[in-house]
Amino acid sequence: MSLKAIAESWARLWSQTNSAAFASIFDEAIVYRDNAFDIRRAGRAEVEEHHRIWLAAAPDFSIEIERLHESGDTVILEGLGRGAFSGEDLGGGALKATGKAFEGRLAAVIVCGDRGIVRCTEYYDRLQMPGLPLA
Report the CATH number that the domain containing residue 44 is assigned in CATH: 3.10.450.50
- 101 Cβ contact list (under 8 Å, min separation 6): 82, 83, 84, 130
Cβ atoms of 19 and 48 within 8 Å: the answer is yes
Does 135 fall in a domain?
no
Does 134 fall in a domain?
no
Does 133 fall in a domain?
no
The total domain count for the chain is: 1
pTM of the full structure:
0.90
- Assign 127 a pLDDT band (cuts: 50, 70, 90): low
Q: Which domain holds residue 51?
A: 3-128
94 has a pLDDT exceeding 80: no
- Assign 135 a pLDDT band (cuts: 50, 70, 90): very low
56 has a pLDDT exceeding 50: yes
